[in-house]
Amino acid sequence: MRTVSIKDVIKAVRDVCIHANRYQPADVKKCLKEGGAKEDSPTAKEVFRQIAENIDLAESTGLPLCQDTGLAVFFVEIGQDVYVDGNLTEGINEGVRQGYGEGFLRKSACDPFTRKNTGDNTPAVIHYDIVPGDKLRIAFMAKGGGAENMSRVTMLAPAEGWEGVKKFVLTRVSEARSNPCPPILIGVGLGGTFEHSAKLAKLALMRKVDDVNSDPDLAAKEKELLALVNKLNIGPMGLGGKQTALALKIMKSPCHIASLPLAVNIQCHSSRHEEVEL
């Protein structure tokens, strides 16, 4: 049994909240820096130029990539041979509290009805999984309102199949248009239950832009659907262009014989996520 100090958890979460909100992941940064060269429209090229400039400014000034620094979402994998010497949930929330405070990041968590702000961006949304090993892996995602608001979950009839999935995803992106600040990243969750499909869709957004699905069938479906999304010509910031989405990732799970749960989770071009292992 290996012991992980709760103090180390707090510091790691604090640091990852600050760093992820200031620095794009390398794979996303590369796509955004090179995006203008793939466009024909002068407007689309200019949008990509401004996005690249914003990335550089955030890195040089220490200011956030976007004023909406999001709700704090975590996917936490706890090795079955790990002991944390404190309350892990409280530790993660304290890390968020410190990170969003000391990093001067906007606090967006509020009561659903009164809209009163909690003042420190807690509580975080935390998903736990127990896995083999003696490591604690914490993956953080800053989820802004503009993109999250464009996400949807539905329950398709099994007979609708892949054609139904394509129709729903394309309709969702088409209806969202400029709201999630394209070029977007799209996570698609298939199967499981109502809530599990949504978790899969959000987890899909943690994958690298240029990775290839290990399932050949899903890899082909991701490629097909991404091409269809980009034919919508919504383009960067909704002003027209070839790149409405940088990537589309699918994760699936077995579901009930009478159901086909489908979730679409959209992330803006400022795809802020980062992982740390303790």
How do residues 36-88 score in pLDDT, each as one tens digit?
999 999 999 999 999 999 999 999 999 999 999 999 999 999 999 999 999 99
Residue 248 backbone phi and psi in degrees, to 5: -135, 120
Helices in the chain by DSSP H: which ranges? 6-22, 26-34, 42-61, 88-102, 145-148, 161-176, 194-204, 216-230
Quote the pLDDT of residue 94.
98
- pLDDT for position 166: 98
Query: What pLDDT does residue 275 have?
Result: 96
Residue 125 has a pLDDT of 98
- Rounded to the nearest integer, the mean pLDDT of the chain is 97
Q: What is the pLDDT of residue 36?
A: 94
Question: DSSP class of residue 35?
Answer: G
| Angle, alpha carbons 208-130-273 (nearest 5°) | 25
Q: What is the band of 98 on the pLDDT scale with cuts at 50, 70, 90? A: very high
Q: What is the pLDDT of residues 263-272, one digit of tens each?
A: 999 999 999 9
pLDDT at 10: 98
What number of H helices and E strands is found in the chain? 8, 10
Give me the mean pLDDT over the 75-102 stretch. 97
pLDDT bracket for residue 206 (50, 70, 90): very high
* Listed residue (250, 246, 234) closest to 165, CA to CA: 250
Which token pair is 146? 């503009």
What are the structural domain ranges in the chain? 2-22+65-143, 146-275
Task: Please answer whether residues 65 and 71 qualify as being in contact, where contact means their C-beta atoms are separated by less than 8 angstroms.
Answer: no
pLDDT score for 99: 98
Residue 150's nearest CA partner among 248, 228, 266 is 266
Total Cβ atoms within 10 A of residue 11: 18
107-143: burial string, b at 16+ Cβ within 10 Å, e else: bbbeeeeeeeeeebbbbbebeeeeeeeeebbbbbbbb
pLDDT over 90, % of the chain: 100
Predicted local distance difference test score (pLDDT) of residue 96: 98
pLDDT at 232: 97
The residue-averaged pLDDT of 5-31 equals: 97
Mean of pLDDT values over 168-176: 98
Kind plus residue range of the DSSP H or E element containing 75: strand 71-79
pLDDT one-digit tens code per residue, 119-161: 999 999 999 999 999 999 999 999 999 999 999 999 999 999 9
